[in-house]
Structure 1
């Protein structure tokens, strides 16, 4: 990698400049390791928090991305040759990498070498949080587990995202579909006449990531009060079970196991997707008798006057007949007309967008919900990805930066830690970074 390949390489200190020896910031400085590399964090709630990520694929990277979106400095540490498991892998892997690794700095270190672990320990000394989602036991075997690194920084919040909490399952290999299957999520997804299906996105990974980011924030607040770090463990399985909580309560209270329900719901009818005259799918879900009457009036039918469909209990008792009638009505309208009529009537309705539709959604454009980042591998060019969705009156959202190329910021970050040019050159020659 040449100097041209290093983001902000001109910010590296020369061997005889301040910062090249022992003149290093400390955790109590409340600063960032390399403040000039990720602009725009000033005024953000986590602008004084540095996060190290030993993450790959979705769960770890998504968790640290959420912290970056709130202003944290996130330094992604990857193997010098292989990098993240989905880097330059396949179209889906490349695309997931492009999304969950924005707003980060990229550093490489071979943690199987002592000098690579030294690099990580030097980073840990300056960090507030570390997020990792290695397979169970891997971090400890590498010598970078919590017990190894708490010696370096007793205030470190160490977040491990795993398949399971410690217990009977903890050593089992886990993927997103494993958690979806075990948690019951698959059992209610799809249709009763088809095999169980997983969600169309990595919901178990992302649920664990969200719980991870939330718990990290709580741990940082506690650390600020006590001065003590801690180990946070966040499981895919138990996080997915948490999302299934009301169905678990339902089963125990009513001694009934819910079946796959497609786009419908056992408590309301009509509540499903229907085909329009132009062969598009539209979700329609009037959830009260008033909305049901508005549905019928907006589409010029009198189904609400039919005794079979007058009240909610009647509609639930005659669900299949009602579904057929509503399908006949919807088939008379093109999707855009159907959606417009029902929106004006105050009836819950939505076209079933595909991903191309979502990329062009006018509301997302109007609300500045998407940002453009470099597609680092595979596709080339630039892609639009979602920004942090929440808004706050006290701070603005962070503007997205490109996901880093492999090791893009290694020289600059190590320079900020006090490594001189000769030491960095030697580490590169030896394949450590």
Structure 2
């Protein structure tokens, strides 16, 4: 089993560790004594942050700024395959664990470093997901002209972690060690790339997604008679014909105003109300059955917690324990993890130190010192 040492905080670093854990790697999360990952303290709308992003890990309580902490981390890194860190810029170098330092300890290690910005004029700036969404233009495209809006999850953090893990697996496949540097800003640029490319072609400002007309004639929300909202997407002429047949709208199939996607797009102001009027005469289940029968793409408007009861989602949930309570949360679709629980702070400290050769007496001394 490959070993990952995670020095991660909040979302980006812990997400990378979570992916490795879900793929069956041993992940040891090194945490600050007494307080741990700062996401342990979050509550309200962020109360599930630590629990979700730290499933399947072992927690090692260790002050890596002390001589003992550095000694333990050095020993751990000599046994590891991968290190993941998203500490503030310059922190790892300051405490003696930059890539160049760690490479001397373990020449084959893969060093995944996630930062706000990669090499450039901003590289020493601290940052988090939301400021990066603002600065990269993602928030502008997600909101409205008057109010840029962040996405509904820390997408930039999570995608940065996925990119870091992807590159790490390339190095694993080549049987190489190496440095993997990922920037949140550069990740967000990649996510915003479609809009940058469109601007390059059109040479004019784009409207935010929530204010622009989509490229398809039927690509919108519709309401059922029992007040359920669906998003329906009809992208091709063949789908348009099936849609009309399914909902008894054969009379408009050959109407020149709707004869192609471009025509439907140009006449959306007439077409969308016409379709909405029809669907308001039907209950949600009736609409859903027609869409399923004719294989038309749609999505029912859900809140995230609605997925706890969704028949498609249930297979891809795992039961986990955290602070003596049981919870259902999503897993990776290809997870092979045997342990899905989130660790209490320092839950494996004694075992890890013992495996590194420290005596019970030395371990107890270290723990007493750390919790003062």
TM-score, length-normalised on structure 2? Answer: 0.94
Equivalent in 360, 367, 371 of residue 309 of structure 2: 360
Pairs aligned (count):
371
Q: 2:108 matched to which residue of 1?
A: 155
Unaligned residue ranges in structure 2 (runs of 5+): none
Q: 1:413 matched to which residue of 2?
A: 352
Residues 246-300 of structure 1: per-residue CA shift (max 9 Å, x gap): 3322221232433222398632111012222222220100111111122122122
| Separation (CA, whole Å) in 2 of partners of 1:265 and 1:426 | 65
Unaligned residue ranges in structure 1 (runs of 5+): 1-46, 391-395
Q: 1:31 matched to which residue of 2?
A: none
Deviation of the 1:317 alpha carbon:
1.1
Is residue 87–residue 93 contact of structure 1 (8 Å, CA) maintained in 2?
A: no
Q: 2:186 matched to which residue of 1?
A: 238
1:350 aligns with 2:325: no
Q: 2:149 matched to which residue of 1?
A: 197
| Separation (CA, whole Å) in 1 of partners of 2:321 and 2:41 | 14
| Separation (CA, whole Å) in 2 of partners of 1:352 and 1:190 | 18
| Separation (CA, whole Å) in 2 of partners of 1:191 and 1:289 | 31
| Separation (CA, whole Å) in 2 of partners of 1:270 and 1:246 | 21
Q: 2:244 matched to which residue of 1?
A: 296
Residue 87 of structure 1: SS of its match in structure 2?
A: helix
Residues 283-338 of structure 1: per-residue CA shift (max 9 Å, x gap): 10011111112212212223434332232111111223222222222222222321
Q: Which has the higher helix share?
A: 2
Q: 1:423 matched to which residue of 2?
A: 362
Q: 1:43 matched to which residue of 2?
A: none
1:373 aligns with 2:312: no
Residue 40 of structure 2: SS of its match in structure 1?
A: coil
Deviation of the 1:397 alpha carbon:
2.3
Is residue 24–residue 338 contact of structure 2 (8 Å, CA) maintained in 1?
A: no
Q: With CA pairs under 8 Å and 6+ residues apart, which has the higher RCO, 1 or 2?
A: 1
Residues 89-108 of structure 1: per-residue CA shift (max 9 Å, x gap): 21443312111111111111
Deviation of the 1:341 alpha carbon:
1.3
Is residue 51–residue 64 contact of structure 1 (8 Å, CA) maintained in 2?
A: yes
Is residue 115–residue 432 contact of structure 1 (8 Å, CA) maintained in 2?
A: no
Residues 91-145 of structure 1: per-residue CA shift (max 9 Å, x gap): 4433121111111111110122111111111111111111001111122223322
| Separation (CA, whole Å) in 2 of partners of 1:263 and 1:298 | 30
Distance 1:243 1:309, change over 3 A: same
| Separation (CA, whole Å) in 1 of partners of 2:151 and 2:252 | 34
Q: 1:398 matched to which residue of 2?
A: 337
